[in-house]
Structure 1
């Protein structure tokens, strides 16, 4: 590998031992191809077979998407158990105030903030699927333990541990999608499992409505016990069925794995590398793209932190009784499914449209929060409910932002670091959001509405800035290539775990 074509990117641990003919800096997908005798021509032959490609994508969809989607349904329902319980008898049973309830919502994301990056490192160094599955079992058990709490202190401890165990799920899922699918296919697949937040909202509402009929024990305790038990069972299903990565997947033939690795090559982001590379972490920290996505996600989740935790209380101000409140919250999930699936479909269907979709799907949120803020909650109940339902469009923009680091960052360590940083913003926003909804302003929450409006408008500006940055980078690389200023990479370099800065052939998706 030519040292003058990189910016301090190769460290001593990345050296290639030419004498014994081994290469330690290769992406592990490329090592797999060499170890099993798949030449570039053989891999290209597999990729040129459209029927085999379609069949393989269907197989991956059938194996991965039900597991990711089912986990996301349960994650949303379990995370929302606090909000469902607050509609019933949680607050009086535990002697909690409204301010303490706000802190419970934030404590979950403090834990997420602390645990998310360490889990990311563990997942990269070990077996990703085992990390995910073990945490699903653990958070289900923690839900069941929560039913034994009788005070704010106990609830806070359980809520914190729930956040610790849920922390790796979404970042790992984004890395899984980035590993198994081409860049063009990634937005819609991420949208499929993320839209299950909406399905979770619908099923959670129906399930809670049924649990609300229980008279033998406190309803809030029944919610935690039943939801926790279901999640523990699902965690064991994940443990046996979710593959760790392409290389170790048991239900795929060698030719299928070679084809998946070849398809992953197209984006030049690499498949997997268990080696932590510190220069790639440094590069991620200095990349403006990462920080624009960080801020975009921070503002998006500030909106989410308020809406997710106080949405049911906003509806309660219109409905006035717990069961009606739960029932009227169900359409919000259906709206979210429509927003996420349609937006991610457009982003996958039309080339370089992701940042445009991110802006467009913020418009219903801006309109909805403006209506909810200005309409009378006494005389325009239908209008208030509809405005609440369309606010959820911002989630589509979030899905695309969360997928961007896995799509637009080369080098496995840089990519996982970028994903981790964006999810730090995800946590911080959810911590901030609930505190913009002041108890004295219920059920209108004027301050919360103003914060949502400001955050949504700022996000739109950030999405435009991101597009301009990536367009500029692509044009610079195209110009250098046309002028012959870009030195062609050797085969060895092309197969290495290069970052997007190191690889002149890398192009960013917009």
Structure 2
């Protein structure tokens, strides 16, 4: 009797101090609530139940993610909207200083992104997200009181620091709640709200532009800041931290979602930081291809986001007309992101193909903006501007790749963080390719966009070749193991894609 007790005590200590750290949080939940593999298989075999659970997840998560992303885009673009009106003369800023304001945001983003990501992994992700939303809303309202470049730069820095965890955390949330085939379109839904934000921001700014009692740019920051603070409270109340602790889901629904996570072999959540997985991320060629893809992509984005309104203003000369003509850009962006991510979700192994194809309109659009006359071919130049935003679809798919295509929770978090380092660096570089003396055509900026999008196309092809070779070698290894009668487990152990022979890369 004593021996049995000792054995039980030893096993319990192993769970408390050792084995538990190798298991995913989802696997621990299943064990604690006595869900067997047979139970999970019977749940997964019911398509109507799966459909109902996914629909419930969509209703709980997507409105919160989409609304946040729309506000993030509008708030981040407040600087560009303000520049169309009276920001520069009110603060005695030069065009060069304006370029630095765009970069300062991403210097802060760069410095704050990994600490926030680490905190989100170690604590409660939804609380980190909602707290930062409220904080950046406060910073927007404070910005309205600025009277100089120095004040604007400080506020812009803190705005970037508080917006830093949003995209990173959202990609991890999508990877946690959805299967790999479902992830691109879900990520596309909330990221397409950048386009919706461009439309809504244009309409909102057009309305604010009618105000006569206060400087228009100050009104923009005050109104947007107030809306954001209210939304942050909504997110705080309703966004779940993770599957295991989500209050609006039953035990069976949580088990169902965790069982679906097993299909991806990527795990659900693990609060332990594993240093060997960080090292593995740093030597994985896939991570570095995505790093440089993102660097090039966001060099494009940094220039377009900061100077597109000034390019349109060069065509019209009128602030309100500039804001109105910028609205269709959002509609085009909405189309690019939703159509591309829908294709990538519905047709297996087409993600890298879509990443390549959706760079072609960007290449065509920037050539039109660069080479066509801004005096006699204004409509064609404007159309070129509208289609240049197709690169954003490639961005969404590339952002989702680390969370989707890598096993091991720490490796995924580290890889996402690395990719976002490139995201920030590109946005810092991009605005400085648009030289004030070249307005309104910005020839150097157009050359940089053309070079970056062309290089991205090459990287997309290279990524596809790499992943195809990896899958082929794994298929051969599994076939050989099956011939030798080797069996493979189903537990959600926190394995990386290098460690797990069952892992297959999406193309």
Q: Decide whether aligned partners of structure 1 residues 286 and 489 sit closer, same or farther in structure 2, where only a CA change above 3 A counts.
A: farther
Q: Check conservation: 2:362, 2:391, Cα contact below 8 A.
A: yes
The CA deviation at 1:18 is 4.3
Matches of 1:82 and 1:191, distance apart in 2: 25
The CA deviation at 1:296 is 0.2
| Correspondences of 1:128-147 after superposition (within 5 Å) | 128-147=125-144
| Structure 1 counterpart of 2:182, from 182, 185, 202 | 185
Deviations 1:169-212 (A, max 9, x none): 00000000000000000000000000000000000000000000
Matches of 2:492 and 2:131, distance apart in 1: 33
Q: Which residue of 2 aligns with 1:160?
A: 157
Matches of 1:178 and 1:427, distance apart in 2: 22
Matches of 2:176 and 2:481, distance apart in 1: 32
Matches of 2:489 and 2:388, distance apart in 1: 49
Deviations 1:307-349 (A, max 9, x none): 0000000000001100000000000000000000000000001
Q: Which residue of 2 aligns with 1:331?
A: 328
Q: Decide whether aligned partners of structure 1 residues 91 and 487 sit closer, same or farther in structure 2, where only a CA change above 3 A counts.
A: farther
Matches of 2:176 and 2:241, distance apart in 1: 11
Matches of 1:98 and 1:255, distance apart in 2: 58
Matches of 1:505 and 1:173, distance apart in 2: 26
Q: Which residue of 2 aligns with 1:150?
A: 147
Matches of 1:489 and 1:403, distance apart in 2: 31
| Correspondences of 1:200-349 after superposition (within 5 Å) | 200-349=197-346
Q: Decide whether aligned partners of structure 1 residues 233 and 489 sit closer, same or farther in structure 2, where only a CA change above 3 A counts.
A: farther
SS at match of 2:362: helix
Provide the aligned length of Structure 1 versus Structure 2: 494
The CA deviation at 1:489 is 6.0
SS at match of 1:153: helix
| Correspondences of 1:34-45 after superposition (within 5 Å) | 34-45=31-42
Deviations 1:123-170 (A, max 9, x none): 000000000000000000000000011000000000000000000000
Q: Decide whether aligned partners of structure 1 residues 329 and 484 sit closer, same or farther in structure 2, where only a CA change above 3 A counts.
A: same
Unpaired stretches in structure 2, ≥5 consecutive residues: 1-9
Matches of 2:506 and 2:183, distance apart in 1: 12
Deviations 1:213-252 (A, max 9, x none): 0000110000000000000000000000000000000000
The CA deviation at 1:484 is 2.4
Q: Decide whether aligned partners of structure 1 residues 352 and 430 sit closer, same or farther in structure 2, where only a CA change above 3 A counts.
A: same
Matches of 1:395 and 1:290, distance apart in 2: 19
SS at match of 1:484: helix
Matches of 1:282 and 1:39, distance apart in 2: 34
